[in-house]
Homo-oligomer: A and B are copies of this chain.
């Protein structure tokens, strides 16, 4: 293929194909020519997943729109599992990236000093940490969320001299061995050969398929009983909003109790903000709403703002117990990501961005309320710019799959979450155009409430 990479002007035709391909069609869209996927079938592992749900070959993307090579256009309510909170190929970030590439800025820097890294550290402090009164030291642990979790667990163990960790059912922290050991998903654990031989204690989350649970009460009971079988751990790791677990926000009261319970016992609290952070579920961090300050925070996904691999492990300065080089990694210095992340951080001082973010959240909440009102058996959860529509008691995973398929056929990408994929996880770009948002919601409304 040669013309494949020819740029298509962002301002061009997308609207029409969308309509024809999906949203306005009463039934299933005309099928486009079959995508050329033989290369994948022949050469890529069966492990691939999302391409099965969304069988389309993507070429171009902009804002909330994904453009397939066969001409179809999709609105993206999935956003790279939360990696594209600012939309695809955000213009401001793109400009910075293009200029940096053009100027032969250092692209790969290990953990050496670079101008790009310094710019990022400065911007992140100025626009994110300082306005929130947070004083954290930043470690670049490698470019992915699981790297951030691995480093968080290491630093917690080294700083406390303890090895145990308490994690929550339904939690998801990554696929490398250390992160998997604190991840609840049984299928992933089995595939990873993790059979409970790590010093990790799982406790039901505040909310889950089994209903409400007094997690902090159980933790305190175990830790205050010298014969409980559970030692005081190095850390408790928690997602303030469990995303993969089914869009389940912890309450502020619960988070505060957890913070108090850990603080009193000298246990570090790690907030995993990999999916909930960067503005997805409230302010920059999900934990802010509860007024707590975690000891360690992991950030990734939308950190670069452009979908580029980048992550951070933040911790209180006194926890910086590392010796130089004790945790390394070739791609800790993804300079292109630093460049876009610097620009993305700047958005947090931009009023327009905040207005857009608030409007997106408002529209989602409104739709959530409508759903709950129209069909009370559907449990609607959400916070900020994520909406979880839980169909467990109203059709379950089968209905969710149907909605997802209908949406895809009508030009909308939306992903499922929850134990049995019974929860629609609605997460459009924070910066989505209100009309695009309304269109996408319209598709969901049709699929969900009109019982198409």
Contacts and interface: CB of A to CB of B under 8 A. Distances in A.
Given A89-B107, A307-B335, 12 more contacts: A5-B96, A8-B104, A27-B100, A32-B115, A40-B118, A46-B324, A88-B108, A107-B306, A158-B193, A164-B196, A187-B226, A202-B230
Interface string A36-69: 1101100111111111101111111110001001
Contact of A115 (B1, B116, B174, B335): B1
A309 interface: yes
Interface in A102-116: 102-116
Interface string A83-95: 1100011000010
A395 interface: no
Task: Please tell me how many copies of the chain the complex holds.
Answer: 4
A10 interface: yes
A191 B158 contact: yes
Contact of A108 (B40, B84, B100, B158): B84
Interface string A357-392: 000000000000000000000000000000000000
Contacts of A116: 5, 29
Given A7-B104, A208-B225, A113 B58 contact: yes
11 contacts: A37-B113, A45-B313, A46-B324, A58-B113, A59-B106, A81-B110, A83-B331, A107-B308, A170-B228, A175-B328, A197-B197
Given A40-B121, A99-B7, A177-B178, A45 B106 contact: no
B103 A7 contact: yes
A83 B111 CA distance: 13
Contacts of A153: 177, 193
A266 interface: no
Interface in A122-180: 122-123, 125, 137-140, 142-147, 150, 153-154, 157-158, 163-164, 167-171, 174-179
B218 A204 contact: yes
Contacts of A97: 101
Contact of A186 (B170, B226, B313): B226
A256 interface: no
A4 interface: yes
Contact of A329 (B69, B146, B334, B339): B146
A231 interface: yes
A350 interface: no
